[in-house]
């Protein structure tokens, strides 16, 4: 039996019981379940880096507003499909204050987290034009977005952007768009899992090509304003969150409350559609909807069918949070800087013990410290490394399930790792390095 920080036989037994062919190929939720079982049996706590869960308390402003709304009886009333007026107003103000784009309240729609937003966007965008039936992912990305399309039976293609930064992006992206099949393009910025951030040059390329080929850009801003290299925290004062919305009218922004406001459990996000796209009329929509107007089809066709409205009380919570942010009474960016500070320390612990950072640059600039980082170890594929690390009490996910071509890599999420665990993490990394000499 090997001597590892977590009992080797118990880990091996639980892997076999899970029926996973390989931990390194498992989904995020499968890994979570496996580690939960091992922790329960051994009593040993893992360094948990597999789940992108907020590690900070929920914004109290939202909690109090939600409690007050429940006391007033909103739980017994169906919410409007398009969202309560106060929330729509604050979403519109928020995107102006932090992204510097003008969008009417009508085009701001609450969703059951960004996950429902992407699901609704895929459904609607892929029904606009009969010949445009494919989604393009600029990877690496969140694996569940592809799962959504697989569930829908819709087509998708993807490419890893690592080798196609800056000017190289144009030819690569256009090689997909010129086929005439791409209905929409999705990416996250900052990126999950790599934490790369697109430059203005890259966003301009994406936006201009989206306009040229009439494709909708679905920009996932789950980690809005969390590129801590620049202070994006002041409402209405530049600099602002970079966005493709500066370069095309063909956009849908997905903004999450989960990470920025630690409000993940209440499942509320924001879908912001450009006013031009919202008002667009496309005859092809009549094949599945009663209206050919994009915004109307999205709200009263797709979103209505998915949820019949977004949890009433959580809408009041988010409205209160956004109002406080918009009024400069709450600095949400300052509150989440802890993630960047922890990432800086953790990356140092990994690199000191023989690991390497995989996605390490935005063009020529060192990558930011943030919610995620990626690492590898010489001589291991990402799958092999993850298979081994579970015996050392460290969990994460392989980059292979994110669409990344950097199959030697692993994604680490810093949110659930507490500072008091850093000595344990360092000790386990030292032992791994000792047990696996280069």
Tell me the Ramachandran region of residue 318: left when phi exceeds 0, alpha when psi lies from -120 to 50, beta otherwise.
Answer: alpha
Least trusted range by pLDDT, from 131-140, 248-257, 370-379, 401-410: 401-410
Residue 389 shares a structural domain with residue 252: no
Longest Cα separation, the chain: 67
Residue 265 shares a structural domain with residue 161: yes
Q: Residue 25: which pLDDT band, with cuts at 50, 70 and 90?
A: confident
Give the residue from 384, 414, 388 showing the smallest Cα distance to 399: 384
Residue 188 lies in a domain: yes
Residue 45 shares a structural domain with residue 65: no
Give the residue from 299, 309, 250 showing the smallest Cα distance to 275: 250
How far apart CA 422 and CA 414 sit, in angstroms, is 11
List the CATH number of the domain containing 421: 3.90.1150.100
Sheet with 372-376, side-by-side order of all strands: 356-357, 372-376, 410-413, 397-398
Q: Residue 3: which pLDDT band, with cuts at 50, 70 and 90?
A: confident
Q: Residue 19: which pLDDT band, with cuts at 50, 70 and 90?
A: confident
Residue 228 shares a structural domain with residue 298: yes
Q: Residue 418: which pLDDT band, with cuts at 50, 70 and 90?
A: very high
pLDDT for 44: 94
Q: Residue 280: which pLDDT band, with cuts at 50, 70 and 90?
A: very high
Mean pLDDT score, 258-284: 97
Residue 350 shares a structural domain with residue 317: no
Residue 22 has pLDDT above 90, yes or no: no
Q: How many CB atoms lie within 10 A of CB 203?
A: 23
Range of the domain at 78: 60-326
Q: 96-124: per-residue pLDDT in tens?
A: 999 999 999 999 999 999 999 999 999 99
* Cβ atoms 159, 169 nearer than 8 A: no
pLDDT for 110: 98
Mean pLDDT score, 17-25: 86
Q: In this structure, are strands 182-188 and 365-366 parallel, antiparallel, or unpaired?
A: unpaired
Residue 168 shares a structural domain with residue 232: yes
Burial of 18 (0-12, 13-18, 19+ CB in 10 A): middle
pLDDT for 296: 98
Residues paired with 220 in a beta bridge: 188, 254
Mean pLDDT score, 390-417: 94
Residue 5 has pLDDT above 90, yes or no: yes
How far apart CA 259 and CA 311 sit, in angstroms, is 19
pLDDT for 180: 97
Q: 230-267: per-residue pLDDT in tens?
A: 999 999 999 999 999 999 999 999 999 999 999 999 99
pLDDT for 386: 94
Residue 149 shares a structural domain with residue 200: yes
Sole residue written with tokens 């994604």: 411
Residue 320 shares a structural domain with residue 380: no
Residue 1 lies in a domain: no
Token pair listed for 307: 């949820």
Residue 2 lies in a domain: no
Sole residue written with tokens 């004062």: 237
Q: Residue 20: which pLDDT band, with cuts at 50, 70 and 90?
A: confident
How far apart CA 106 and CA 83 sit, in angstroms, is 9
Residue 300 shares a structural domain with residue 346: no
Domain boundary at 269, 294, 326, which? 326
How far apart CA 399 and CA 401 sit, in angstroms, is 5
- The alpha-carbon radius of gyration of the chain (Å, integer) is 22
Domain boundary at 326, 352, 387, which? 326
Size of the chain in residues = 438
Give the residue from 232, 306, 317 showing the smallest Cα distance to 269: 317
CA trace torsion 186, 415, 413, 329 (10° rounding) = 30
Residues paired with 254 in a beta bridge: 220, 271
Sole residue written with tokens 């990402």: 382
pLDDT for 57: 94
Residue 153 shares a structural domain with residue 300: yes
pLDDT for 228: 96
List the CATH number of the domain containing 154: 3.40.640.10
Domain boundary at 326, 358, 389, which? 326
* Cβ atoms 265, 273 nearer than 8 A: no
Residue 46 lies in a domain: yes
Percentage of the residues of the chain whose pLDDT score is greater than 90: 92
pLDDT for 181: 98
Q: 305-349: per-residue pLDDT in tens?
A: 999 889 999 999 999 999 999 999 999 999 999 999 999 999 999
**Mean pLDDT, rounded, of the chain:** 95
- Residue-wise DSSP of 116-131: HHHHHHHHHHTTS-TT
- Could you give the number of structural domains in the chain? 2
Residues paired with 182 in a beta bridge: 134
Residue 1 has pLDDT above 60, yes or no: no
Q: 171-214: per-residue pLDDT in tens?
A: 999 999 999 999 999 999 999 999 999 999 999 999 999 999 99
């Amino acid at each position: 039996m090997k001597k590892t920080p977590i009992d080797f036989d118990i880990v091996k037994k639980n892997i076999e019981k899970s029926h996973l062919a390989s931990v390194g190929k498992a989904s995020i939720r499968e890994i979570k379940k496996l580690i939960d079982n091992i922790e329960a049996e051994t009593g040993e706590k893992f360094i948990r880096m597999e789940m992108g869960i907020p590690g900070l308390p929920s914004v109290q402003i939202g909690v109090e507003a939600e409690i007050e709304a429940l006391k007033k009886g909103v739980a017994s009333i169906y919410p409007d499909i398009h969202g309560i007026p106060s929330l729509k107003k604050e979403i519109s103000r928020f995107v102006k204050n932090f992204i510097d784009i003008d969008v009417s309240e009508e085009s701001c729609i609450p969703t059951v987290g960004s996950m429902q937003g992407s699901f609704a966007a895929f459904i609607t965008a892929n029904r606009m034009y009969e010949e445009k039936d494919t989604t393009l992912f600029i990877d690496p990305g969140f694996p569940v977005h592809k799962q959504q399309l697989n569930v829908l039976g819709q087509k998708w293609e993807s490419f890893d952007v690592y080798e196609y930064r800056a000017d190289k992006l144009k030819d690569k992206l256009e090689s997909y768009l010129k086929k005439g099949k791409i209905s929409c393009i999705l990416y996250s910025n900052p990126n999950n899992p790599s934490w790369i951030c697109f430059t203005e040059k890259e966003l301009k390329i994406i936006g201009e090509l989206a306009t040229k080929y009439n494709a909708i850009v679905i920009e996932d801003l789950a980690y809005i304003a969390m590129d801590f290299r620049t202070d994006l925290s002041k409402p209405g004062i530049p600099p602002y969150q970079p966005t493709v919305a500066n370069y095309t009218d063909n956009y849908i922004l997905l903004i999450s409350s989960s990470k920025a406001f630690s409000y993940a459990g209440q499942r509320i996000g924001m879908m912001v559609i450009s006013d031009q796209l919202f008002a667009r009329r496309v005859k092809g929509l009549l094949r599945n909807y009663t209206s050919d107007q994009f915004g109307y089809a999205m709200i009263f066709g797709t979103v209505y069918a998915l949820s019949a409205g977004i949890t009433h009380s959580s809408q009041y919570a988010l409205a209160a949070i956004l109002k406080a942010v918009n009024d400069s009474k709450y600095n949400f960016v300052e509150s989440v800087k802890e993630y960047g500070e922890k990432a800086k320390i953790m990356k140092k612990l990994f690199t000191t013990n023989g690991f390497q950072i995989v996605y390490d640059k935005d063009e020529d600039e060192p990558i930011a410290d943030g919610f995620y980082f990626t690492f590898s170890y010489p001589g291991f594929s990402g799958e092999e490394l993850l298979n081994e690390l579970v015996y050392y009490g460290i969990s994460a996910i392989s980059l292979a399930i994110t669409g990344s071509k950097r199959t030697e890599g692993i994604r680490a999420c810093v949110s659930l790792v507490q500072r008091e665990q850093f000595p344990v993490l360092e000790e386990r990394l030292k032992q791994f390095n000792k047990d696996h000499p280069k």
